[in-house]
Structures are given as structure tokens and as C-alpha cells.
Amino acid sequence: MSTRDLVLSALFAAIIVALGLLPPISLGVIPVPITAQSLGVMMAGVVLGGRRGAVAALIVVLLVAIGLPVLSGGRGGLAVFAAPTAGFLVGWIFAALVTGYMSERLVKPEQSNIAQGVGFFIAAVTGGVVVLYAFGIAYLAIAANIGVSKAFFGSLAFVPGDLIKAVVAALVGRAVMAGYPLLPQRS
């Protein structure tokens, strides 16, 4: 990894951490304020691509493990990994990887705005919802010993919020691609 790539990943990890420190922002569509950290993970994928995005998420997970309170609400430390929801944290790495990889595949600079937006949205949903929930639900089912189907239905309540985050990530991805393109291309 070049120094520049390492720095980009570290800076994006810092953005994800900072998003957890900010006061929650209301989205307008739903009245519930959201914590923006999982949005940050999707953004890491759409902005930096698979490899660098995954490294950014990996850095955040590492910071949690070594005892820095970097998750929203000042959570951190190894105790976070003992929670039955730890799969949703470790899954961030793979969520960013898949979001980024699909973005590299689906989105080209010469496409129309709408095509780019749709491409980023599909990438963010696949990585940030499908892949992330696969990890989260699998670990929840094992750690809490409640079985896959119950873990699945218990997690469904969070899907609408995450879909809205995917829309925001797609809009951000498109705007950053226009303003300061970083996404590697893959055909």
C-alpha cells in the first residue's frame, strides 16, 4: 500500500470516528435521529473503493479493540466485541470492501448522474445492508443463541434507516466523484 493510500484510509477512518462524536442529525424523512457511523462505512466504500475502504473500516475496528472510545456514545474497548451485536461491527470491514468493489465495477466517470447515483446506491445496499446484516445476524444467532430466523426478524427494524443511509451515501459518492475523484476503476 502506498503512503498516500494508507493516509487516505486513515483519514476516512478519522471521518467515521468523527461521525460518532457529532450530535445525531435528523434525516427529515423519518423523525428518528440516526448515528452516522454505518453511513461513514458505506461512504468509505463509495469514495475510496474496495481495498482502501476496507482498510479504513479495519482501522476503526482496530481502534475499538485497543480501547479507544471511538464508537457513537463513547463506546469502545474489547467489551464491545463481547456484545451479541459485535457481528455488525466486524462486518463493517466486509461491508466497505463489497461496497467499494461494486462501486469500482458499476460506476464510471462518463456515466450520467442518474446512472452513477443508481450504481452507488446498489453498491451501498449490497455492501452496507446485505453483507453487513449477513455478518451481524449470523453472529447474533450464535452468540445470543436465538437461531437465525429470530435474529433475522429482530434485525429487520433497522433496515429502513440503513436504506436511507445508502441513498445519502450514493449522493455523497456522486458529488465526491465530481469534485475530487478517488475511486479506482475496474472493468
Partner 1 sequence: MQSLYVDADSWMHRASPRLKLGALAVLGVALFATTDLRILAATLLAGGVLYLNVGMTWREALRRLQPVLLTIAFVTLFSLLFTPWHEAAVTVFRLVTLTLFAATLTATTTIAAFVDEITWAATPLERIGLVKAADIGLTVGLVVRFVPEIVGRYAAIREAHEARGLKIRLRTVLVPLVILTLRDADNIAAAIDARGIRRH
Closer Cβ to partner 1, 115 or 144, answer by number: 144
How many binding residues for partner 1 (CB under 8 A)? 62
Q: What cell does 66 get? A: 485497543
Alpha carbon distance 124, 168 (integer Å): 10
Q: How remote is the C-alpha of 113 from its chain's centroid? A: 22
> Site mask, partner 1, residues 109-138, x = CB under 8 A?
------------------------------
Q: Using the rule CB under 8 A, which residue among 41, 54, 57, 63 binds partner 1?
A: 63
User: Binding of partner 1 at residue 15 (CB under 8 A)?
Assistant: yes
For the bound state, the minimum distance from the C-beta of residue 19 to partner 1, rounded and expressed in Å, comes to 9
> What residues numbered 81-100 form the site for partner 1, per CB under 8 A?
81-85
Alpha carbon distance 72, 59 (integer Å): 16
Alpha carbon distance 84, 174 (integer Å): 35
Alpha carbon distance 4, 10 (integer Å): 10
Evaluate whether 151 touches 144 at the Cβ level (below 8 Å).
yes
For the bound state, the minimum distance from the C-beta of residue 84 to partner 1, rounded and expressed in Å, comes to 5
For 22-57, the DSSP string reads SPPB--SSSSS-B--HHHHHHHHHHHH-HHHHHHHH
Closer Cβ to partner 1, 150 or 187, answer by number: 150
Closer Cβ to partner 1, 3 or 187, answer by number: 3
Closer Cβ to partner 1, 108 or 154, answer by number: 154
Q: What cell does 68 get? A: 479507544
DSSP annotation of 77: S
- Contacts (Cβ under 8 Å, ≥6 apart) of 23: none
Q: Given the rule CB under 8 A, which of 39-47, 100-108, 117-125, 126-134 is the region that contacts partner 1? A: 39-47
User: Binding of partner 1 at residue 66 (CB under 8 A)?
Assistant: yes
Which residues sit at the interface with partner 1, rule CB under 8 A?
Answer: 1-4, 6-15, 17-18, 21-22, 25, 27-28, 36, 39, 43, 47, 59, 62-63, 65-70, 73, 75-85, 140, 143-147, 150, 154, 168, 171-172, 175-176, 179-180, 182
